[in-house]
Structure 1
Amino acid sequence: MYNVSERMIFHRLKGLISPSLLTKWWKVDPELYINEETHHFKQDRSLQKIDFTRLKQAEENEFPIFEHMIQAYLKQNIHMIPITSSLYPSTLKHIYDPPPVLFLKGNITYLNEEKSLGVVGTRVPSSYGEACVKKIVGELVEENWTIVSGLAKGIDGLAHKECIRKKGKTIGVVAGGFQHLYPKEHVQMAQYMGEHHLLLSEHPPYIKPEKWHFPMRNRLISALTKGTIVIQCKEKSGSLITAYQALEQGKEVFAVAGSIFDSNSTGPARLIQQGAKLVHSTKDILEEFFFQGVQYTEPS
Structure 2
Amino acid sequence: MRTFRSRLIQLHHCEGVNWKVIQSFLTFDPTLQSIYDMSAVTLTKFGLDFRIASRFYHDLHVTKPWKTNGLGEMRVITRYDEEYPERLMHIYDAPWVIYCMGNLRLLNTPSLSVVGTRHPSSHAESCMAHVLTPVVQYNITVVSGLARGVDTLAHRLALRHQSGTIAVLGSGFKHIYPKENIELATVIAKNGLLLTEYPPHRVAERTQFPERNRIISGLSKGTFVVEARKKSGSLITADQAIEQGRDVFCLPGRLTDLHSEGTNRLIQQGAKLILNSEDILCEYDEFQEKVASTI
Q: Summarize deviations over 1:14-56 as a string: whole Å, max 9, x none.
A: 3353343113323553322316999xxxxxx963759999978
What is the deviation of 1:61?
A: 5.3
What is the deviation of 1:97?
A: 2.3
What is the deviation of 1:57?
A: 7.7
- Return the letter of the residue paired with 2:24: K
Distance 1:9 1:273, change over 3 A: same
Q: Equivalent of 2:127, from 123, 127, 132?
A: 132
Separation in 1, partners of 2:92, 2:9:
20
Separation in 2, partners of 1:54, 1:175:
22
Residue 65 of structure 2 corresponds to which residue in structure 1? 66
- Return the letter of the residue paired with 1:26: L
CA contact (8 A) 2:79 2:96 kept: yes
- Return the letter of the residue paired with 1:31: T
- Return the letter of the residue paired with 1:164: L
Percent identity (aligned):
38
CA contact (8 A) 1:21 1:46 kept: no
CA contact (8 A) 2:14 2:56 kept: no
Separation in 2, partners of 1:244, 1:296:
30
Q: Equivalent of 1:103, from 99, 103, 123?
A: 99
Separation in 2, partners of 1:56, 1:212:
24
Residue 272 of structure 1 corresponds to which residue in structure 2? 267
Distance 1:58 1:206, change over 3 A: closer
> TM-score, normalized by length of structure 2?
0.88
Q: Equivalent of 2:290, from 275, 278, 297?
A: 297
Separation in 2, partners of 1:55, 1:151:
30
Q: Equivalent of 1:200, from 178, 182, 195?
A: 195
Residue 249 of structure 1 corresponds to which residue in structure 2? 244
Secondary structure (helix, strand or coil) at the match of 2:34 reads coil
User: 5+ residue gaps in structure 1?
Assistant: 39-44
Secondary structure (helix, strand or coil) at the match of 1:261 reads coil
Pairing of 1:169-248 with structure 2 (within 5 A): 169-248=164-243
Note the aligned Cα RMSD (angstroms). 2.6
Match status 1:157 vs 2:160:
no
For this pair of structures, how many residues does the alignment match?
Answer: 286
Residue 22 of structure 2 corresponds to which residue in structure 1? 22
Separation in 2, partners of 1:23, 1:136:
40
> TM-score, normalized by length of structure 1?
0.86
Residue 120 of structure 1 corresponds to which residue in structure 2? 115
User: 5+ residue gaps in structure 2?
Assistant: 39-43
Residue 47 of structure 1 corresponds to which residue in structure 2? 46
Secondary structure (helix, strand or coil) at the match of 1:32 reads coil
